Amino acid sequence: MTLTVKERRMTPVSELIAVEHTDLYIGGAWSRGSDSERIDVQDPASGEVIASVASATLDDARAAADAAAVAAPAWASRPPRERAEILRRAFELMIRDKEKLAELMVRENGKPMAEARAEAVYAAEFFRWFSEEAVRNIGSLSIAPSGQNRILVIHQPIGVSLLVTPWNFPAAMATRKIGPALAAGCTVILKPASETPLTALAVAGLLEEAGVPRGVVNVIPSRQSSKVVAALLEDGRVRKLSFTGSTEVGRILLAKAAEGIVSCSMELGGNAPFLVLADADLDAAVEGALVAKMRNTGQSCVAANRFYVEAPVLERFTGTLADAMAKMPVGGGLEPEVKVGPVINRPARDKIAGLVERAVHNGAKVLTGGKAPDRPGCFYQPTVLAEVSPDEAILKEEIFGPVAPVVRFDGIDEAIAMANRTERGLVSYVYTRDLARGLRIAEALEAGMIGLNRGLISDPAAPFGGVKESGLGREGSHEGLLEFLETKYIGTGW
Ligand code: SIN
């Protein structure tokens, strides 16, 4: 990948970086595809169109499925050590190019540079982790209770996999799926979000450089996403769907996948509660809250969406959080010192504004923020709302923005009941100095992941995923590899 960095700060991307890859990547070749119209990629900080990317049609999607199906047998039978070494090279190349990838993410997603750098490393780590997991496809052999035969269990690649990724973490959500799929011996078709296709295409360029054979990875941004994904789910050769996105879209894809009995791993929406107990280390709790709330300007499935604070520490925690959020500089991601970028687009900003307005109308108090700043671009001020009613809409919907609504609780049973009062169950955060109590609460919370005295739970070595309507399956860790493997039992007599 060659991105020539000419200049930083608020220069339009067209003058800032030469984006090498703006075409589809199918069967090891870069192609303009068969759609004459392309996807305009916009910088959410300025609204400027920064690149135009090829858009896959149904014919292009079929070509990608053909390429992935042709490449599948050779990739599946390649020694795991060789697959591991290719992934390891991809990790090293991503680290080599982390600065360029970070700039690309700032421009197409809007996240501040420091966060984009952190994401580039986080994303690369999925390749490193799964390069190590590629050689750990472990089966088992046991004796049947009758003693008559042996039970031999092996795990084989599930087959051609369709990976559908969101715009909020354009690099990490791609590598979190490509890494385990390739490690398991599957070939893939990646359909990145239309808002952020440049990073995914850049990652494809690095995989090519790392030695991934033709057809093993195919990347097809499309402005007809739903049609393209539906066609691939009907294709018959696609045996796996791994999706990260909203619960609403996930539900539609699950129904579609059911028609062809396609295996699904779904990482869907969250509505994370953040519990602060009276005995918590409040400085640590505020620090954790800032990460859990403000990472990626609040646009994360694992973002703290609702703060429940025990009465004796309510005022101190809320006041300190408001002071800290008020000091966070808002601006374009390439501006130095900026900590809070724009949200992805105008509808996202309007939704946030609507939720805040409604909560305030119903009696919530604005401690800081509470409106969009007076500047162009899709910005919203870091906002803390106190005295939010426990039934307020802002506590039921994923805010996906820099707004922290705070609710008081009296007693841990009330807090657990309020935290679990949602159909979602991705992550919950708990702050307490009493570890035993914290672990008991962690067991009672209905979530796939718990941050106990931690505001950041994401780690390639940990199983990431939710319960209830937050999803199916896990990504990262050894479990992430298993999602791309199928179990085969061989009843054996000897
Ligand atoms: C997400 O928001 O979907 C993923 C966040 C993460 O991996 O930390």
Confidence category of residue 132, pLDDT binned at 50, 70, 90? very high
User: Is 301 a residue of the active site?
Assistant: yes
Q: What is the CATH number of domain 272-459?
A: 3.40.309.10
Provide the 10 A C-beta neighbour count for residue 4: 10
Report, as an integer, the average pLDDT of 300-322: 98
Mean pLDDT value across the chain: 95
Higher pLDDT, 20 or 317: 317
Q: What is the CATH number of domain 7-268+470-490?
A: 3.40.605.10
Report the nearest-CA residue for atom 3 of ligand 1: 301
pLDDT at 3: 35
Measure Cα distances from 386 to 211, 307, 369 in Å.
54, 10, 12
| Range in 7-16, 86-95, 192-201, 435-444 the model is least confident about | 7-16
434-493 pLDDT, tens per residue?
A: 999 999 999 999 999 999 999 999 999 999 999 999 999 999 999 999 999 999 999 999
What is the atom index within ligand 1 of the atom nearest the CA of 176?
7
Confidence category of residue 18, pLDDT binned at 50, 70, 90? low
222-253 pLDDT, tens per residue?
A: 999 999 999 999 999 999 999 999 999 999 99
In this predicted structure, the answer to whether residue 314 has a pLDDT above a threshold of 80 is: yes
What is the atom index within ligand 1 of the atom nearest the CA of 458?
8
Measure Cα distances from 444 to 205, 415, 430, 441 in Å.
45, 11, 12, 5
Any idea where the domains of the chain sit in the sequence?
A: 7-268+470-490, 272-459
Binding pocket residue ranges, ligand 1, CB within 6 Å: 168-169, 172, 244, 267, 300-302, 458
Cα torsion angle, 100, 105, 108, 112, sign: negative
Confidence category of residue 17, pLDDT binned at 50, 70, 90? low
Q: How many A from CA of 94 to the centre of ligand 1?
A: 19
**C-alpha span between 193 and 244 (Å, rounded):** 10
**Catalytic entry in 186, 264, 301, 378:** 301
Q: How many A from CA of 169 to the centre of ligand 1?
A: 7
**Catalytic entry in 267, 392, 469, 483:** 267
401-438 pLDDT, tens per residue?
A: 999 999 999 999 999 999 999 999 999 999 999 999 99
In this predicted structure, the answer to whether residue 283 has a pLDDT above a threshold of 70 is: yes
pTM of the predicted structure, to 2 decimals: 0.95
User: Is 264 a residue of the active site?
Assistant: no
In degrees to the nearest 10, what's the CA dihedral of 328, 330, 336, 337? 0
Number of residues in the chain? 494
**C-alpha span between 481 and 461 (Å, rounded):** 11
